[in-house]
Structure 1
Amino acid sequence: MLGAGSLRAAPVTEAAAQGVPAGASVAEAAVAADPDWILPRLAQPVPARTDFVEVRGSALLKAPLRLSGEYRRPDATTLVREVRAPYAETTTIRTGAKPGQGEVAIVRPGKPPKRFSLARAPELVALQASFGALLGGDRALLEQHYRLVAEGTRRQWTVSLIPKDASLAARVREIVLLGRDDELRCIETRPARGNEQQRTLLASAARAAAGVADASQLAALCRGHGAAR
């Protein structure tokens, strides 16, 4: 049975009123974020996995293309992107001992696998490196491929990854990580030309995006509004 005391509400603190996690003060949450604070908190040991919802805009489509599925990192050199809806497709990126070495395999049901060298796809090298570095908390590896610019506070932050590789920079202006506290909620890929941005919601933001189609609401989820952790 519950005791009478268990029914009393706990006092609302200033930190709780402002949405600050338990154990963190308002002052701590207001401290400016920097990569050295953010990256170790995103680190996850392998194997790791996370849900995703990806929304891509295109002038060729009447409505943005929306994909959902799961990212997996079974080991330190492999990244698996499994699309489950609206079609099934699994992309496996395996890196080699040196930058640019490795292989990409794309598998769709009922079709022969497609395989090609990572050297043909610098954007996939950067993708694998960025996910691997993020999940490993490895700033040095990230900075091999990107210049890092952090903004915001420890409560709500962004880290812009600006490509150093010329071939990638010709396609991608920047990749922006959006997070809240110790959670990476969203990755926005902004093209070098045009405004057809790709937005990938991760983990709790991806789960909260079920049934949400409005672009402004998805952007709010990326920034940690409208969804509980």
Structure 2
Amino acid sequence: MLPLCANASGPEDAATARALVSSLGRPAPARTPFAEARFMKMLDKPLVVSGELAWLGDDRLERTVEHPTREVSTIANGEVSQQREGRSPRTFSLKRAPQLQLLLDSFVALLGGDASRLEQAFTVQHSADGADHWTLTLTPRDAKLAQTVSRIDIDGSGNEPHCMRMQEADGDVAIDLLGSYATRMPATPTRDALATICRGG
């Protein structure tokens, strides 16, 4: 088994991190609301969308955007199917979408409570601030995927993830507020404001 790192290198800390991942597991289908702000260098303002993420079991993931326009993306059997409002459906290989591959690997492993799967796809670091808040930092093991996404940070408390930050190698970042935190997306989000929310502020 690949090592699961923690904020210290001892076996007790690694065991704590694995126990945390196991506690996040939910039976499929598992659904959670999300609100995402994507900060891109080419845009003055972030793109904000909201909807629902659903793990349907095995390697099947569905991302439904309800606002501002409806779009459904389904990942299954190594393919991505997208249905956008007012457009014809399209299907393409998951290999063409590294961000979706990493979303699948991380989200399925977390909702499945599968620490082993998480370890296979990522180097995992765990830290906690002593006030029930924790952070998992996931670094892709696949060098090609890491050229697109440098890391994913997941914040939460207890057995609930609240925030997922996907840092792309080119400097763009997508920040998702999950579950009950999805309603806390500011009307005009900034990275600093979302960082405060992710820390439980």
User: How many equivalent pairs are there?
Assistant: 188
Q: Give distance in 1, aligned partners of 2:153 and 2:100.
A: 16
Tell me which amino acid in the other structure corresponds to 2:179.
A
Pair 1:37 & 2:19 matched:
yes
Provide TM-score, normalisation by structure 1: 0.76
Question: What does residue 7 of structure 2 align with?
Answer: none
Q: Give the structure with higher Rg (CA).
A: 1
Provide TM-score, normalisation by structure 2: 0.86
Q: Give distance in 2, aligned partners of 1:165 and 1:114.
A: 27
Q: Report SS of the residue matched to 1:53.
A: strand
Structure 2: segments with no counterpart, 5+ residues? 1-11
Structure 1 residues 127 and 214: CA distance shift in structure 2, 3 A: closer
Q: Give distance in 2, aligned partners of 1:51 and 1:45.
A: 16
Tell me which amino acid in the other structure corresponds to 1:85.
H
Give the C-alpha shift of residue 53 in structure 1. Answer: 0.6
Deviations 1:115-170 (A, max 9, x none): 01223334322221211110011011111111001111461111110001111100
Structure 1 residues 163 and 180: CA distance shift in structure 2, 3 A: same
For the Cα contact (< 8 Å) 1:172–1:189, is it kept in 2? yes
Question: What does residue 150 of structure 1 align with?
Answer: 126
Q: Report SS of the residue matched to 1:188.
A: strand
Equivalent residue runs for 1:1-229 within 5 Å: 34-95=16-77, 102-153=78-129, 155-194=132-171, 196-209=172-185, 211=187, 213-225=189-201
Q: Report SS of the residue matched to 2:193.
A: helix
For the Cα contact (< 8 Å) 1:52–1:71, is it kept in 2? yes
Q: Report SS of the residue matched to 1:68.
A: strand
For the Cα contact (< 8 Å) 1:83–1:89, is it kept in 2? yes
Identity over aligned residues, as a percent? 38
Structure 1 residues 129 and 214: CA distance shift in structure 2, 3 A: closer
Highest RCO, 1 vs 2 (Cα 8 Å, sep ≥ 6): 2
For the Cα contact (< 8 Å) 1:176–1:189, is it kept in 2? yes
Tell me which amino acid in the other structure corresponds to 2:189.
A
For the Cα contact (< 8 Å) 1:72–1:79, is it kept in 2? yes
Q: Give distance in 2, aligned partners of 1:200 and 1:190.
A: 11
Structure 1 residues 215 and 126: CA distance shift in structure 2, 3 A: closer
Computed over aligned residues only, the root mean square deviation of the Cα atoms, in angstroms, reads 2.0
Structure 1: segments with no counterpart, 5+ residues? 1-30, 96-101
Give the C-alpha shift of residue 211 in structure 1. Answer: 4.2
